[in-house]
Structure 1
Amino acid sequence: MLTDKRKYCIVAPLSALSIRTRLYKLANFLHYQKQCEISHVGWERVENESVEVNLDFSIKKRIILRGGGYGGSKIKLYYILWMLKVFLYSFKIKKSDIIWALGFESAFPLLLMSKLKGYKIIFDDADRFSMLFAFPRPIKKLLQYLEEFTSKNVYIHIVPGKERYDFYSPKIHELKNMPSRRVINKAKENYNDSDYIKNKLVINVNGWLGEGRGMHVILQIAKVLKEDVSIILVGKIDCEAALELSKMENVQYLGEVSNDKALETYLASDFVFTYYDPQHEINKYAESNKWGDAIKLGVGIIVNEEVLTANYLNKANVTISVPYDDVLQLTDRLSDIVNNNKKREYKSNIQSLSNKYGDFEEQLSKII
């Protein structure tokens, strides 16, 4: 086990810890529960985005790469540059530091120097890198080999689920994307039922509101079932369908909010919408934070059936699962729930599932 008095350096290819739910929960855990000193070595993808607006404590921050945004033709080149910058930064790391590396693109360039200097790497593999892009087959095979090599040579390899991996590594530990106990309690304390839209069925749509997240589907649902279904919409609008959705009368759009405010909206919801475009390989192995939020806050889950990692949710009968583009079938399933008052069945099943999983802090405490 690691001693808590050491410094934790989170090396992550993003602007701020608080804009990535998994790292937001980690930072709060390390600060409040472990009372550790935290620093972030990051990549400011958008100008002035590195400000930690949602953390109520200070962390040391060092930006080693700027620009590139979150997509576009040059993004792969920026990832290569990120790996080079991380390797160069590794010369400055002290033996006593504990490095929390988000993604293969952070862990692999840190690995060689860790063997020379002796610092420990916790490889947090939230999204398997070899699945993120459509790499040519030889490059993908090389990346998969290097991912396995990295997994077996770091101190700990943390994954949200094991379905993405076709190899065995004794260093792998599963950390399901459950919410933080502290944030759940804060959300419940601040919850005011009168602040939220109401209807026979309320669907929560939150996170990245982009084309690859089924916005065209939920838009049609909002139109066809507008008399019975209302939507709480939270997050960054990033496509025309989401923009149109936000302007509808049966939709309450709250914009981008903190993690505890996002969790608060679950208390006013019956289902959470989690769609992932199956054209992208990584999406078939999604490990959504929204699933853990729903499990711990008693909300049913809407997920497209192509998502293989949702199998345990389907078996627990807590999901509405239909093909990604089958709006008609989803409409029928939601209408059936409304007309036959089946919301209680889902809430009962979700409670049974909740009892099987510890919250974020409980899981992480067993690992580090």
Structure 2
Amino acid sequence: MSSNNILEIIAPVSALSNRTRLYKLASYLINDKKVACIHHVAWVRAKSEANETELPADNIKTTALINGGGYGGKLTKFLYLIWMIRVFFYCLFRRHQSPVWALGFESAFPALLASKFRKFDIIFDDADRFSLVFPFPAFIKKVIQKLEKYTSEQVLVHVVPGTERYNFAINNSFVLKNTPSRAEVEKAKVLYQQRTWPTAKLIINVNGWLGKDRGMDAALYIAKSYNAEQVQLIVAGKVDCEAAKQLVALNNVTYLGKVSNAMALASYLCADYVLTYYDPNTEINKLAQSNKWGDALCMGTNIIVNSEVVTAQFLKKYHNTIMTPYHDLSSLRQAIDNVLAHGRDKGRIDTSSLTYEQQLEDLFAKVTMNE
């Protein structure tokens, strides 16, 4: 790739900084001067989220195809259809032939249809398999999955965080694991030294989207079950449910707010465990590909995960992992009691995985960037 090139990222998010996977991609492209500019074709779900807080604004141009709609409810589901229609027409009339990085089937499929007329390459970033995100009726789900397979076969590269969500294999797949960025890890080490962190017999990190199906009831239960000398929680991210609101108000909880990727990584360095719970009532949650696992293994932090997550079974090889059923809070407490009784044991740093930058180097070796 040349530093004179432009990459368009079509993603239904308000800002690239708001999605860890896209933030690491954009940082790599800008910092390594792989492109001169990134054009984000966006769905600005909330005006307050639209600013690129962690990326240089001079290197990013944003075009919003939709403004508003939020993240839930019937309106949001309807707007996904509007998004797909607008992506199709945007791509049909785009001015240049450079590749498109399309996040999700809802972006890649309409871009693919337009590319049949305009002849440009598509990198399909299938970070969350669309057919598993929403509880579609069986017939509609089957149709979407056929279209997902067709899209995967037709694009230049089908980028996936893991293979477990797919019952098909294609030659153009590329596994881009959710490992941390080398640059962000170095920033995190500096940030860690620049502030005072809470102390207790056990420190548990809770970060990311603090929503109702991300174990907030479990986090609240833990915080209420112990005093501040026994267990402290470090919490960071968007508060998005009642349990999370109660959690951040407790005296044994340090709430950092919404933080940068580097600060989130810094908070791992003082934590013994990170909580990664996914409500198994949502199908894709049982096939989660958590950024937190890669971050924790890199930073030497142990992991708490619910046992229903099929893709988390590999974590059993790390002997400090706590794995209990999502709704069985008494078993979770017993596991934490056991850690407190026998003393905490810092996790082993796993250096076997490639950094995000190393993976992207391999990926973009397959891509020709044309003006």
After TM superposition, the score normalised by the length of structure 2 is 0.94
> Paired residue for 2:359, among 354, 357, 363?
363
Please tell me the residue identity of whatever aligns with 2:11.
A
Structure 1 segment 301-320 matched on structure 2, within 5 A: 301-320=303-322
1:148 paired with 2:149, answer yes
Query: Is contact 2:236-2:264 (8 Å) kept?
Result: yes
Match of 1:38 in 2: 38
Distance 1:7 1:118, change over 3 A: same
Match of 1:111 in 2: 112
> 1:174-231: per-residue Cα shift (whole Å, max 9, x none)?
0111111111101101212751111111000011111111111111111112241110
> 1:106-132: per-residue Cα shift (whole Å, max 9, x none)?
000010222332211000011000001
> Paired residue for 2:295, among 293, 296, 301?
293
Give how far 1:307 is off. 0.7
Query: Is contact 2:87-2:110 (8 Å) kept?
Result: yes
Match of 1:200 in 2: 201
* Percent of residue pairs bearing the same amino acid type: 48
Aligned-partner SS, 1:197: coil
Match of 2:121 in 1: 120
Query: Is contact 2:303-2:321 (8 Å) kept?
Result: yes
> 1:254-296: per-residue Cα shift (whole Å, max 9, x none)?
1111111111111111111010110000111111111111011
Match of 2:50 in 1: 50
Aligned-partner SS, 1:314: helix
Query: Is contact 2:211-2:239 (8 Å) kept?
Result: yes
Match of 1:26 in 2: 25
User: Following the alignment from structure 1 to structure 2, what is the Cα–Cα distance between the partners of residues 164 and 357?
Assistant: 20
User: Following the alignment from structure 1 to structure 2, what is the Cα–Cα distance between the partners of residues 62 and 318?
Assistant: 46
User: Following the alignment from structure 1 to structure 2, what is the Cα–Cα distance between the partners of residues 43 and 190?
Assistant: 32
Aligned-partner SS, 1:195: coil
User: Following the alignment from structure 2 to structure 1, what is the Cα–Cα distance between the partners of residues 287 and 117?
Assistant: 35
Match of 2:5 in 1: 6
Match of 1:167 in 2: 168
> Paired residue for 1:265, among 264, 267, 273?
267
User: Following the alignment from structure 2 to structure 1, what is the Cα–Cα distance between the partners of residues 183 and 271?
Assistant: 20
> 1:2-46: per-residue Cα shift (whole Å, max 9, x none)?
666431000000110000010000000110124302110000111
User: Following the alignment from structure 2 to structure 1, what is the Cα–Cα distance between the partners of residues 48 and 252?
Assistant: 34
Aligned-partner SS, 1:273: strand
RMSD over equivalenced CA pairs, Å:
1.5
User: Following the alignment from structure 1 to structure 2, what is the Cα–Cα distance between the partners of residues 47 and 194?
Assistant: 31
Distance 1:94 1:194, change over 3 A: closer
Aligned-partner SS, 1:74: helix
Query: Is contact 1:272-1:301 (8 Å) kept?
Result: yes
User: Following the alignment from structure 1 to structure 2, what is the Cα–Cα distance between the partners of residues 331 and 193?
Assistant: 33
Aligned-partner SS, 1:186: helix
Match of 1:62 in 2: 63
- The gaps in structure 1 that reach 5 residues or longer are none
- The gaps in structure 2 that reach 5 residues or longer are 365-371
Query: Is contact 1:107-1:121 (8 Å) kept?
Result: yes
Query: Is contact 1:96-1:119 (8 Å) kept?
Result: yes
Query: Is contact 2:203-2:233 (8 Å) kept?
Result: yes
> 1:126-181: per-residue Cα shift (whole Å, max 9, x none)?
10000011111110000000000000000001011110001111111101111111
